Amino acid sequence: MGREDELLGLAQRGVTALEKLAEDPVVQLETGPPVCPFCDKMNPDVRVAESEAQGPLAEFVIRAQCLSCNNLIFGVPLHWAMGKNIEEIRAVIEERVRAGGFNGGTHQGA
């Protein structure tokens, strides 16, 4: 009976873990359009300096100069579209523009 007791204990721990996950509040992240917080321009052109910084992709922070008002702004991507090459990402951007998202333009990379 030792093996059966071990399996029963494992199953009970799994159920307990699932119940705790179900009780946890859902994390909700507020998102918005790419608007400069200083001049309120929607999807402004920006200048981003290359960086040698490193860290987790989910904690990536964009430091950019808004070319509409010249203020330094900071952003955190909350939704990612990832690709194996720039062509895949260009296709994502083109689809977003076709769907009415923001004002298009030419992606030059950052």
What residue ranges do the domains of the chain occupy?
46-98
pTM of the model: 0.61
Tokens at residue 102, please?
A: 């923001």
What one-character-per-residue DSSP string does 51-107 give? ------GGG--EEEEETTT--EEEE---S----SSHHHHHHHHHHHHHTT-TT----
> Which amino acid is present at 26?
V
65-97 pLDDT, tens per residue?
999 999 999 998 888 899 999 999 999 989 988
